[in-house]
Amino acid sequence: MRKPDGKIVLLGDMNVGKTSLLQRYMERRFPDTVSTVGGAFYLKQWRSYHISIWDTAGREQFHGLGSMYCRGAAAVILTYDVNHAQSLLELEDRFLGLTDTASADCLFAIVGNKVDLSEEGPGEGGQEGGQGPGLAGGDGCAAPRLPKQVQPEDAMAFYKKILKYKMLDEKDVPAAEQMCFETSAKTGHNVDLLFETLFDMVVPVILQQRAQGPPQTVDITSSRPPARTRSGCCA
Ligand SMILES: Nc1nc2c(ncn2[C@@H]2O[C@H](COP(=O)(O)OP(=O)(O)OP(=O)(O)O)[C@@H](O)[C@H]2O)c(=O)[nH]1
Ligand SMILES: [Mg+2]
């Protein structure tokens, strides 16, 4: 197996939909999932690059593994559930610190998932939302359901906190509006947009990492992550 050129890691509390987002993008479906054990990855070819996308376990008992998965990451997708405010707070309290091992140029995407369940979210309708910016990409035709607990402004405020935590200047990194997404793994809303926006952004980071010396990505040919099977840890 070819060694990946770069790595993207999904982080976030249990049940926010990390595995579902990845399966929606890679397998174009929304299967039943079981809570992830450890971590698992997919390999995606994007242009001439091979990018590994790591799904991690949100459960507290696997927390210690998070910084290992983040080592050398070119991008981290910090995922929360738009209908569960605590899941955004957890990103700041429990998950942001895990990204200390990521690449110095690491990009951060903030993703509010399960937007199909909220009153302001888009309705059902298959893979949609491939156009337009992440936060402006909703088509607003939902049947009323749950009151949305997290607003796009909350996610953008968190993005700015990340920049502060990383001591990055706003003018040196992508704008919050570009990096905050609302998605539905169930309907596919904005899922392609999320991953493909990130892939395009990650390519320059990969080139930068190459220019700086040997890659820091985990060598998946020599390390042995827990096996992923259709009914296994990633399903
Ligand atoms: N309605 C709806 N349900 C979703 C969505 N994404 C995930 N789910 C459901 O939420 C539950 C948890 O999804 P997972 O993808 O397993 O969550 P996870 O973040 O991987 O959880 P851990 O592996 O425990 O960290 C499952 O029952 C999914 O079917 C979504 O966009 N909309
Ligand atoms: Mg999972």
Mean pLDDT along residues 175-185: 98
Report the predicted TM-score, pTM, of the whole model to 2 decimal places. Answer: 0.85
Dist. CA 114 → ligand 2 center (Å): 14
* Integer Cα distance of 75 and 97 in angstroms: 14
19 lines ligand 1 (CB under 6 A): yes
Dist. CA 6 → ligand 1 center (Å): 25
Quote the ipTM score.
0.99
Dist. CA 58 → ligand 2 center (Å): 7
In the predicted model, what is the mean pLDDT of the chain? 85
11 lines ligand 1 (CB under 6 A): no
Nearest CA to ligand 1 atom 29: 32
pLDDT tens, position by position, 78-129: 999 999 999 999 999 999 999 999 999 999 999 999 999 998 766 654 444 4
pLDDT tens, position by position, 34-62: 999 988 999 999 999 999 999 999 999 99
20 lines ligand 1 (CB under 6 A): yes
Mean pLDDT along residues 56-75: 93
Nearest CA to ligand 1 atom 22: 14
Residue 149: pLDDT band with limits 50, 70, 90: very high
Residue 29 predicted with pLDDT over 70? yes
* Res 121: pLDDT: 66
Neighbours of ion ligand 2 (CB under 5 A): 18-19, 36
Residue 234: pLDDT band with limits 50, 70, 90: very low
184 lines ligand 1 (CB under 6 A): yes
Residue 15: pLDDT band with limits 50, 70, 90: very high
Dist. CA 105 → ligand 1 center (Å): 29
* Domain boundaries along the sequence of the chain: 6-118+150-212
Reply yes or no on domain 6-118+150-212 having CATH 3.40.50.1220: no
Dist. CA 213 → ligand 1 center (Å): 38
18 lines ligand 1 (CB under 6 A): yes
Dist. CA 189 → ligand 1 center (Å): 14
Mean pLDDT along residues 216-227: 49
* Integer Cα distance of 76 and 184 in angstroms: 18
188 lines ligand 1 (CB under 6 A): no
76 lines ligand 1 (CB under 6 A): no
